[in-house]
Amino acid sequence: DTAVSQTPKYLVTQMGNDKSIKCEQNLGHDTMYWYKQDSKKFLKIMFSYNNKELIINETVPNRFSPKSPDKAHLNLHINSLELGDSAVYFCASSQDFGTDPLPQHFGDGTRLSIL
């Protein structure tokens, strides 16, 4: 009964490769997010989708392309991986009711290591 699940949990690959991370939530939420957590533990928003529509696109290289086939899924594709992309990537979801700030629920993270 996992709420927010992302795969794979670990991803080790070589520089220059293209890889994807998948995320699914079964909470019925309408907003999903991707965060990057670097080695200093800073969690930084990358993208947010609401009902399959891109809402937030922080200053992220265009090698990163999110795709939301439906409101329960938000995948992240990364082209031409670089050493600096090594981090933990977290998917999250929340239910946004207008201005009410409701908590976000996080997946377990994908640990991406670039060789």
CB of 42 to another protein, least distance (A): 6
CB of 76 to another protein, least distance (A): 16
CB of 81 to another protein, least distance (A): 22
Residues at the site binding another protein, with contacts judged by CB under 8 A = 4, 31, 33, 40-45, 48, 50, 55-56, 58, 90, 96, 98-99, 101, 103-109
Spell out the long-range contacts of 68-72 with Cβ–Cβ below 8 A and sequence spacing 24 or more. Answer: 68/32, 71/29, 71/30, 71/32, 72/24, 72/25, 72/26
Specify the residue, 6 or 75, whose C-beta has the smaller distance to another protein. Answer: 6
